[in-house]
């Protein structure tokens, strides 16, 4: 891939989005928060955090390491409030398990956007769901919120956002180090928040280029060096958040959005739902070219589980949503807990190359945040982690993808559950020979809690709860790095 083609593609994202961050949204949220303290999950965070958790139950002796998490933390500045949950500045968190104790720290990722707006005392730049145009911007990284994932890789830790570069943070202190440029001609290119780490080392990732009809592909070696890049053509492409990899393929699902023109509209506002098929684009790993395009009925998709090859079929797990869910997520910023209009379900998709058809089988109902054990990424797996619930996520589930059996635990009404991940025991013999580690918000007490389950007996409830004396910002994604 030559430099000029990459730079032309990168330039297409500099059209980021009519809404202004405003005082009305700020007032509506705080009025709602006074009536419903549980909305504090979406409240603004000021400053860094550090503290020790009080552990109830039993922490396994062989579970030690760092659980890195990331999500939006700052939604308000200068008396204004963002309009969408995805807009907030990234707040990196590290939960550390060591010597039978759990400690926590969190701090903002000091992106160019964060520093400029902090100095100005007001929002300056366009965000995903809020149009602000007080200052011009140079490239994607001026807008980078670094608010979606925290990835340990090759001895370093990266805060990720899908519209621009990775941002390196210190693994111990979470202090911001620098913007990561994987290669000079990739400077400020979109680098998705969902790279897939190969169990044998290295990672695969992509950068969506909405409005350009292209998706950039990256293969990075275990040493952090770029091995291959490519640019594939994907017309009528808007938001593409995640993908999945098998031993032979990279798979993308293209939700049926039209990306409308709009000089004074945010990126989210430019999305118009279209009742046309959702496309599944299959890219061959060996050539980094499109092998096949399949179609399914119109659905929205955020997150995948895993993919593997099964004869003349590629199978993968994914959570599908009925219709446009972006607006539902945006209403939270005004303190509105709307009843979910769309439904979701976790499914397994079989891409049959012989017939050219995609076949779907149901795995689980309303759910999100699928994860698999790290050692099976790209290969055959039989266990899928899912959070369950419509609207507020309230249960943790381990689904057997062969039998359909669900081993799950439901928290009571006063809890809101965040993503959970499988942490294999040393010398693990199976996918469930692991701990299931995550975070949940105790809404009644207003505090963040680390949860630890035995993955072989999730329904028995948490082995341990590590409760902080303060609320932690609600995170999107993270990864566990064993000590």
| 8-53 pLDDT tens trace | 344 444 433 344 677 899 999 999 999 998 899 999 999 999 999 9
Percent of residues, the chain, with pLDDT higher than 70: 95
The pTM (predicted TM-score) of the whole model is: 0.94
Specify the pLDDT at position 5. Answer: 44
Specify the pLDDT at position 211. Answer: 85
Average pLDDT over residues 134-139: 92
- Judged against a pLDDT cut of 50, whether residue 195 lies above it is answered with yes
Specify the pLDDT at position 341. Answer: 60
Q: Range with the lowest mean pLDDT among 11-25, 71-85, 234-248?
A: 11-25
Average pLDDT over residues 167-191: 97
Nearest Cα residue to 295 out of 344, 241, 349: 349
- Name which residue leads in pLDDT, 328 or 118: 118
Specify the pLDDT at position 392. Answer: 86
- Judged against a pLDDT cut of 50, whether residue 239 lies above it is answered with yes
Specify the pLDDT at position 289. Answer: 98
Specify the pLDDT at position 11. Answer: 42
Average pLDDT over residues 473-479: 96
- Judged against a pLDDT cut of 50, whether residue 6 lies above it is answered with no
Specify the pLDDT at position 14. Answer: 40
Nearest Cα residue to 344 out of 383, 394, 300: 300
Specify the pLDDT at position 4. Answer: 40
Average pLDDT over residues 170-183: 97
Owner of token pair 């939960």: 95
- Judged against a pLDDT cut of 90, whether residue 336 lies above it is answered with no
Specify the pLDDT at position 340. Answer: 59
| Mean per-residue pLDDT over the chain, rounded | 93
Specify the pLDDT at position 203. Answer: 96
- Judged against a pLDDT cut of 70, whether residue 261 lies above it is answered with yes
Specify the pLDDT at position 439. Answer: 98
Specify the pLDDT at position 200. Answer: 83
Average pLDDT over residues 407-428: 95
Percent of residues, the chain, with pLDDT higher than 90: 87
Distance between CA atoms of residues 362 and 317, nearest Å: 10
- Judged against a pLDDT cut of 90, whether residue 73 lies above it is answered with yes
- Name which residue leads in pLDDT, 193 or 264: 193
Specify the pLDDT at position 8. Answer: 38
Specify the pLDDT at position 272. Answer: 92
Domains of the chain: residue spans and CATH = 3-482 (2.130.10.10)
Specify the pLDDT at position 442. Answer: 96
Residues 6+ apart with CB under 8 A from 451: 396, 420, 437, 438, 439, 440, 462, 464, 465, 466
Average pLDDT over residues 122-129: 96
- Judged against a pLDDT cut of 80, whether residue 391 lies above it is answered with no
């Amino acid at each position: 891939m030559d430099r000029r083609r990459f730079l032309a593609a990168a330039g297409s994202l500099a059209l980021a989005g009519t809404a202004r961050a405003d005082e009305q949204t700020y007032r509506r949220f705080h009025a709602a928060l006074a009536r419903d303290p549980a909305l504090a999950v979406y409240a603004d965070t000021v400053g860094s955090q550090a503290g020790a958790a009080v552990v109830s139950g039993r922490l396994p002796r062989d579970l030690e390491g760092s659980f890195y998490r990331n999500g939006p933390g700052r939604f308000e500045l200068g008396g204004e409030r963002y309009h969408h949950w995805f807009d907030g500045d990234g707040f990196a968190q590290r939960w550390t398990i060591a010597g039978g104790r759990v400690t926590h720290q969190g701090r903002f990722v000091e992106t160019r956007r964060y520093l400029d707006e902090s100095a100005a005392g007001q929002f300056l730049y366009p965000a995903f769901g809020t149009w602000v145009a007080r200052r011009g911007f140079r490239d994607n990284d001026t807008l980078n919120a670094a608010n979606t994932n925290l990835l340990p890789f090759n001895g370093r830790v990266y805060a990720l956002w899908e519209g621009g570069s990775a941002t390196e943070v210190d693994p111990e202190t979470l202090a911001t180090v620098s913007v990561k440029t994987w290669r000079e001609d990739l400077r400020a290119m979109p680098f998705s928040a969902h790279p897939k780490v190969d169990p044998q080392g290295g990672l695969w990732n992509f950068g969506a280029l909405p409005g350009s009809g292209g998706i950039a592909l990256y293969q990075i070696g275990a040493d952090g060096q770029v091995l291959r890049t490519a640019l594939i053509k994907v017309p009528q492409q808007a938001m593409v958040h995640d993908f999945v990899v098998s031993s032979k393929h990279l798979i993308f699902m293209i939700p049926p959005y039209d990306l409308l023109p709009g000089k004074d509209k945010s990126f989210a506002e430019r999305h118009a739902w279209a009742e046309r098929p959702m496309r599944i684009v299959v890219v061959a790993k060996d050539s980094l070219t499109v092998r096949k395009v399949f179609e399914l009925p119109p659905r929205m998709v955020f997150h995948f589980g895993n993919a593997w090859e099964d004869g003349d079929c590629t199978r993968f797990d994914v959570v599908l949503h009925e219709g446009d869910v972006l607006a539902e997520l945006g209403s939270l910023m005004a303190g509105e807990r709307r009843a979910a209009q769309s439904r979701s379900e976790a499914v397994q998709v079989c891409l049959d190359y012989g017939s050219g058809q995609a076949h779907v089988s149901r795995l689980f109902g309303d759910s999100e945040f699928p994860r698999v054990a790290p050692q099976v990424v790209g290969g055959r797996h039989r266990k899928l982690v899912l959070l369950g619930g419509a609207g507020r996520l309230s249960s943790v589930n381990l689904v057997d993808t062969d039998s359909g059996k669900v081993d799950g635990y439901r928290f009571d009404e006063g809890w809101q559950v965040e993503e959970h991940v499988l942490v294999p025991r040393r010398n693990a013999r199976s996918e469930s020979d692991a701990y299931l580690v995550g975070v949940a918000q105790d809404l009644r007490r207003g505090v963040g809690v680390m949860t630890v389950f035995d993955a072989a007996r999730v329904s028995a409830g948490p082995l341990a709860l590590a409760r902080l004396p303060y609320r932690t910002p609600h995170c999107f994604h993270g990864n566990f790095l064993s000590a």
